[in-house]
Amino acid sequence: MSNDGATEKIVNKINGGGVAEDDFDLGQRLRSLRELHNLSQRELAKRAGVSNAVISLIEQNRTSPSVGMLKKVLGGIPMSMNDFFALDVAPRAEVFFKADELTEIGGGKISFRQVGRDLTGKALQILRERYQPGADTGDTMLRHEGEESGIVIRGRFEVTVGEQRRVLGPGDAFYFDSRIPHRFRNVGEEEVEVVTACTPPSF
Amino acid sequence: MSNDGATEKIVNKINGGGVAEDDFDLGQRLRSLRELHNLSQRELAKRAGVSNAVISLIEQNRTSPSVGMLKKVLGGIPMSMNDFFALDVAPRAEVFFKADELTEIGGGKISFRQVGRDLTGKALQILRERYQPGADTGDTMLRHEGEESGIVIRGRFEVTVGEQRRVLGPGDAFYFDSRIPHRFRNVGEEEVEVVTACTPPSF
DNA sequence: TCGAAGTGTTAAATATCATAAACGAGTAAA
DNA sequence: TTTACTCGTTTATGATATTTAACACTTCGA
C-alpha cells in the first residue's frame, strides 16, 4: 500500500471524478499503476511471468483478462486483487451535533439518527437507532464493504449475522463484516435503543 | 467416477501455474455467497445476464472467469469486485459479545469497554466509555489518523476539539478528525456514559 | 404414475483470450 | 550514418472461456 499521494491522483482519475458508474477503466488503472512503479510493459510482464502483449492489450481494454491472469499481472507489481479494486476516502469539518440535529433517517418502527449529514467520502458512520417492539429490518440487507459494530443500550435485540443468531441485552455488543447478510429485530416488549457504527458509511 | 486428477491439475493451472499463491477458492466463495442469498445457479445467472453453465463451472473451479464475467456475475447478487476480493482476508470469527465480555481498558475514573479483543487489522473500534464526575482525559491526546465519533447516553460531557469546546447532553454527538488534539471531561454531577467509535483503532 | 418444473452438471460449438513473433518508432553510442 | 538497444503496439495461432442445449436427478401436484 504505497502512500505516495500520487496514488491518490490515480485513484481519482480511475474513479472518473465521481461521475463514473460501476465500470471503472481497468486498463487505465493498470497502466497508471505500472507507470507509478516505473515499470515498462515488458518488465512487468517478465516479473509477472506473462507475455508483454497481454499487458498492452489489457491497458487498451482490448481484452478482458481472466482473474487468474490479472492476479498474475498484479503479482509482478506487486499488488493484491483486494487492493487493486479498493477505493479511498477523504476528510471533514463539522464537529458537534445537538440531539435534535441528528439527521433522521428512518421514520416508522425503526428510526435512525445519524451523526453528520452528508457522509460521502467519510470513513465512519455512527447511528443512534430505535426499534419499536416487533420492528424488523428484513433479512436481505447486504451492505457494502466495511465493518459494523454496535452496543445495545436498552431492550432485547435479536441480531442475525450469516448463520449466527443471538439475542442481546443492554451492554451486549456485536461486531461483524458488513458484507455478510444481516438482520436486526426487536424481540422484546419495550423499545430497543442501540448505538451502531459502520465503516465506511453505507447509506 | 470420472476425472478427479485432471480437475485438480486444471485448478492448479488456474491459480497461477508454478508459483505458490494465496490460493483462495474463488469457486467456493461464489458458491457460498450465492447460497447465502438463497439464489439458484439459474436464478443468479438470469439476474446477472449470463448463462447458468458458467456459474456451475466457476463454482467448480473448472474455469477462471474473465474479470468482466466475474463482475457481471457479482452484479447479480449484487456485490462489487472490491467486496468480493476483500472477503479473503476477512473471515471474522467473533460476532457477539456479552456485556461482561467487553474487554476493560481503563480502570479508575474513566473506564473503556471495548467491543472485541484484538483489533489489529480491523477497521473499526467501538467503545462504551464511562466517566466519573470530574474525570478528565487531559489535553495532550493526539491519536493517529482516522476519524472519531460518539453519542452521549447519559450525563453532561464536555468535548474539546482543537479550538472548539462544547458541553453535550444525552443524545448529543460529536464527529471529528482524530489528528486534531482533543479532550474529554465529565463536567456534571452524575456519571457520564458515552458510546464512541474510531477508525482505524487507536489503541 | 406421470409429467412439469426445479435443481446442478456436462458436451459440443463458438467466441474470446493469451502467446510468440514481428512491426514501427524513439533513443543513444559508435 | 549505422548499430543496437528500448519502448508500446499489432497479428496469427493455439489455448481457454462462454454459450447453447442437452443430461440426470429431485420435488411437487395432478
Inter-chain residue contact B172 with A98, CB threshold 8 Å: yes
Show the domains of chain B with their CATH numbers: 4-89 (1.10.260.40), 99-199 (2.60.120.10)
Confidence of residue A64 (pLDDT cuts 50, 70, 90): very high
Section B160-165 average pLDDT: 73
Check A195 against B198: CB less than 8 A apart: no
Per-residue model confidence (pLDDT) at position B60: 92
Nearest CA distance, B2 vs chain A (angstrom): 26
Distance (Å) from the C-alpha of residue B194 to the closest C-alpha of chain A?
10
**Residue B71 in this model has a pLDDT that exceeds 80:** yes
Q: Residue window 67-86, chain B: list those with CB within 8 Å of chain A.
A: 67-71, 75, 77, 79-86
In this complex, which of A65, A116, A149 lies closest to B67 when CB atoms are compared? Answer: A65
Grid cell at residue B1? 467416477
- In window 51-90 of A, residues with CB < 7 A from nucleic chain C are 51-54, 57-58, 63-66, 68-69
pLDDT band at B64 (very low <50, low <70, confident <90, very high): very high
The pLDDT value recorded for residue A38 is: 81
Residues of A in contact with B89 (CB under 8 A): 82
pLDDT over 90 (residue B58): yes
Give the strands of the sheet with B103-104, arranged side by side: A96-97, B173-177, B147-154, B192-199, B125-131, B110-114, B103-104
The confidence score (pLDDT) of residue A85 equals 81
pLDDT number for residue A179: 67
Q: Which range, of A55-64, A110-119, B193-202, averages the lowest pLDDT?
A: A110-119
Q: What is the pLDDT of residue B183?
A: 81
Q: Taking residues A102-106, report their average pLDDT.
A: 48
Q: Which residues in chain A are contacts of B43 at CB distance < 8 A?
A: none
pLDDT at residue number B57: 92
pLDDT on residue A69? 92
Q: D23 C1' – B56 CA distance, angstroms?
A: 15
Query: What is the arithmetic mean of pLDDT over B35-57?
Result: 90
Averaged pLDDT, A38-43: 88
Nucleotide minimizing C1' to CA distance for residue B40 = C7
Instruction: Give residue B149's pLDDT.
Output: 78
Distance from C-alpha of B60 to C-alpha of A184, rounded to nearest angstrom = 34
Q: Is residue B129 less than 8 Å (CB to CB) from chain A?
A: no
Residue A87 has pLDDT above 90, yes or no: no
Nucleotide nearest to B13 (CA to C1'): D16
Q: Chain B contact for A180, CB < 8 A?
A: yes
For residue A5, pLDDT over 80 is answered with: no
Contacts of B5-13 spanning 24+ positions with Cβ under 8 A? B7/B60, B7/B61, B7/B62, B10/B61, B10/B62, B11/B61
How sure is the predictor about B114, in pLDDT bands with cuts at 50, 70 and 90? low
Of the pLDDT bands very low, low, confident and very high (cuts 50, 70, 90), residue B4 is very low
The answer to whether residue A167 neighbours chain B at the CB level (below 8 Å) is no
Q: Which of A140-149, B2-11, B49-58, B127-136 has the lowest mean pLDDT?
A: B2-11
Provide, as residue numbers in chain A, all residues whose Cβ is less than 8 Å from the Cβ of B198: 124
User: What is the full DSSP assignment across B45-114?
Assistant: HHHHTS-HHHHHHHHTTSS--BHHHHHHHHHTTT--HHHHHHGGG------EE-GGGSEE---SSEEEEE
